[in-house]
């Protein structure tokens, strides 16, 4: 064989081997970052309610509460859900508003997918809700997609990497947004914060709609979609202590719902009377669950996307 030809073959083999190693390394790094579960903390599962089927979704008896497909009323919990449609044709928007009032021992709570804190640990909003005997739930901030933010859940600090505007849920039933870089996690805990969410932006603060919502950036990491433009949305607002409004907007489905811009989303909360409001993870994550069913149309396909966490209401 010609020596130069032999050398070229050897060179090609080296290049091919190197390419395989590099591409394989890239693929593994991407899988490690976005796909492989990394459980950091396992959280004790909530106590199950007494039923004949321990895996069944909580359905209180008529003696405990009155309820139908859109409403729930007990001594401590009032939930009323409305479907709203505006516009027509390509400009139609469909969204769902849940008005929730709590009293006594009832609280707004959070839960992790699979009762575990970590990266890429996900489950459907409905599944997490059922695991926690929830009456009502929405998706949270999908903290597991990123490695930063201030994450406090159930009064425990899980992550302390200040990055953006977060939301605090306090023991007195109030919510308030805060700059993670300016208020320490220890100060938040001292002030009575129970849960924090790290997504945003804040939509309404002290009764005023936030400015420059179209310029907000939440993430810059690979794989993140822009939150600008008309998109499916999930958000939480507060009218007064223990009186919340949750809004989930469907989108990306022609002649049903185009989604909302952040300015439109903020206006909805303002019209509902919210004095504070905050944008949570949206897009394919946007899901509202009530009494054993998904109320909205996730991804425009009636198909849920796995998420890291939820906010929920349950009877104690």
Q: What is the pLDDT of residues 236-295, one digit of tens each?
A: 999 999 999 999 999 999 999 999 999 999 999 999 999 999 999 999 999 999 999 999
Angle formed at CA 196 by CA 226 and CA 131, multiple of 5 degrees: 90
What pLDDT, on a 0 to 100 scale, did the predictor assign at position 62? 41
61 vs 140, residue with greater confidence: 140
Asked whether residue 106 is domain-assigned, the answer is yes
Collapse the DSSP code of 223 into the 3-class scheme (helix H, G, I; strand E, B; otherwise coil) and give the result: coil
Domain that holds residue 80: 39-45+62-313
Q: How far is CA 299 from CA 8, 95, 162, 310, 311, in A?
A: 51, 13, 30, 17, 19
227 has a pLDDT exceeding 90 = no
pTM of the model: 0.85
How many domains is the chain built from? 2
Co-location of 151 and 10 in the same domain: no
% of residues, the chain, pLDDT over 90: 73
Instruction: List, in sequence order, the alpha helices (H) in the chain.
Output: 3-34, 125-131, 185-190, 262-271
The residues near 135 (Cβ < 8 Å, ≥ 6 apart) are: 58, 72, 77, 79, 290, 291, 312, 313, 314, 315
- What letter does residue 301 receive in the DSSP assignment? T
Co-location of 24 and 77 in the same domain: no
What's the whole-number average pLDDT of the chain? 88
Co-location of 18 and 70 in the same domain: no
35 has a pLDDT exceeding 90 = no
Q: What are phi and psi of 73, to 5 degrees?
A: -140, 120
Asked whether residue 5 is domain-assigned, the answer is yes
Co-location of 133 and 240 in the same domain: yes
- pLDDT band of residue 23 (cuts 50, 70, 90) is low
Asked whether residue 55 is domain-assigned, the answer is no
Chain Cα centroid distance, residue 38 = 19
Co-location of 162 and 290 in the same domain: yes
What pLDDT, on a 0 to 100 scale, did the predictor assign at position 19? 66
Mean pLDDT of 93-110: 98
């Amino acid at each position: 064989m010609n020596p130069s030809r032999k050398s070229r073959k050897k060179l090609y083999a080296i290049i091919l081997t190197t390419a395989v190693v590099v591409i394989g390394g890239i693929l593994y790094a991407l899988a490690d970052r976005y796909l492989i579960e990394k459980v950091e903390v396992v959280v004790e599962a909530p106590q199950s309610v007494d039923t004949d089927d321990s895996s069944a979704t909580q359905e209180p008896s008529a003696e405990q509460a009155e309820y139908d497909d859109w409403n729930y009323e007990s001594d401590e919990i009032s939930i009323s859900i409305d479907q709203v449609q505006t516009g027509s044709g390509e400009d139609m928007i469909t969204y769902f508003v849940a008005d929730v009032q709590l009293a006594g021992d009832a609280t707004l709570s959070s839960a992790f997918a699979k009762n575990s804190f970590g990266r890429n640990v996900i489950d459907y909003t409905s599944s997490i809700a059922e695991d926690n005997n929830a009456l009502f739930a929405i998706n949270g901030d999908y903290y597991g997609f990123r490695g930063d933010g201030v994450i406090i859940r159930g009064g425990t600090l899980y992550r302390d990497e200040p990055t953006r505007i977060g939301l605090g849920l306090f023991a007195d039933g109030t919510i308030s947004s805060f700059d993670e870089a300016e208020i320490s996690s220890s100060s938040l805990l001292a002030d009575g914060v129970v849960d924090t969410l790290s997504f945003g932006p804040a939509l309404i603060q002290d009764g005023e709609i936030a400015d420059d919502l179209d310029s907000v950036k939440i993430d810059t990491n690979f794989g993140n979609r822009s939150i600008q433009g008309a998109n499916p949305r999930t958000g939480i607002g507060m009218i007064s202590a223990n009186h919340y409004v949750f809004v989930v907007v469907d989108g990306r489905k022609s002649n049903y719902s185009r989604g909302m811009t952040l300015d439109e989303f903020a206006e909805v909360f303002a019209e509902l009377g919210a004095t504070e409001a905050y944008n949570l993870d949206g897009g394919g994550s946007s899901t509202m669950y009530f009494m054993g069913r998904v109320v909205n149309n996730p991804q425009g396909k009636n198909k849920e996307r796995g998420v890291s966490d939820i906010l929920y209401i349950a009877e104690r």
